[in-house]
Amino acid sequence: MKLKMDNLPVLFITGTSKGIGNYLAKHYANNGYQVIGCSRSKFDSLEMSNYRHFEVDVSIEKDVVSLFKDIAKTYKKIDIVINNAAVNSTLSMVAMTSFEKMKSTMEINYLGTFLVCREAVKLMVRNKFGRIINMSSMAVKHEVSGEAGYTASKAAVVSLSRVLAKEVYPFGITCNVIAPSALDTDLMQSIPKDALKDVLKRNAILSLGEPSDIINAIDWISKPESHSITGQVIYLGGV
C-alpha cells in the first residue's frame, strides 16, 4: 500500500548539504519519509518531492524557532530528529586556539543541537512520540590532542542528550547519541591522514566507518519498539 504524502513519517536532519547528512537525507527520502533538511550554505536541494530544504544556521536562535514554526504549520509533527550539523576546525593545540574558533565550534556543534532539540521537543510533546538522535564522535572517548574544541562540543552533546532523555521520556520521546567512527566525509579532510590512522588504531575496527553503519543504528533506535532505549551513547567502529 502506498502511503499518502501527508501520512509519511517526518524526519528532520541538520547539515544536509554534504557528507553524511546529505547521504542520510537521500536515503530516508528514498525510503518512505518526508525529509526536512537544513544547512547554512546554499545548496542545490535534492530533487525529490518528499524532501524540503531550509537555508538555516542552527546556531541562530530566531531562525531555528522560525523554521520549527513552519514545520509545525505544514507537517503538524516531527517523528525523528537527527542533529548532524557540525564543524571540525583544523587541528590546533589549546594554547594556539583562537577564542572565535572555539566559540563557533561550540555554537554550531552544541548550541545548535540544543536549539533544535528544544524546538523539536515542543512538537513531539503534543504528539506523544519522538526520536531524537544526536550525533557525537569517537573523539569524546579518544581525547585526541589538537581537537579540544570539537571533542568538548561533542561531549557537551552527550551530556545534553542524557539529561534530555530523562526529561522527555514521560512524553513518549527518546533521546540517544550515535558516535560514529571516522567516515570519509568533508569533516575529516581537516585531519591529517597519519593522525587519523593513529586514532583508528585505538578502535576494534581499524578501517573507516560506512554511512550504512549509521543508518542501521538510526533505524534501530527509531523503531516504536525501541521506546526503552534512551539516554544511551552508541559508539560505532568498536571504539
Partner 1 sequence: MKEKIIKAVYSSIEEINKTTNQENPLSIGLTTKLFGGDSELDSLGLISLIVAVEQRVSEDLNISVTLADDRALSQEVSPFSSVQTLVDYIIVLANEAKNG
Would you tell me which residues interact with partner 1 (CB under 8 A)? 65-66, 69, 72-73, 122, 125-126, 128, 170-171
Which of 168, 218 has the CB closer to partner 1? 168
Taking the least distance from each CB to partner 1, the nearer of 126 and 223 is 126
Rounded to a whole number of angstroms, the minimum distance from the CB of residue 235 to partner 1 is 31
Q: Which of 179, 196, 5, 212 is nearest to 109 (CA)?
A: 179
How is residue 219 written as a grid cell? Answer: 533505524
CB nearer to partner 1: give 169 or 220: 169
DSSP-H helix ranges across the chain? 19-29, 61-75, 99-106, 112-127, 139-142, 148-168, 193-200, 211-222
Phi-psi region of 80 (alpha: psi -120 to 50; beta: other; left: phi over 0): beta
Query: Taking the complex as a whole, how short is the minimal distance between the CB of residue 170 and partner 1, in angstroms?
Result: 5
From the list 223, 198, 229, the residue with the least C-alpha distance to 9 is 223
Give least dist CB 135 to partner 1, A. 25
For partner 1, the closer CB: 4 or 73:
73
Smallest distance from partner 1 to CB 73, Å: 7
DSSP 172: T
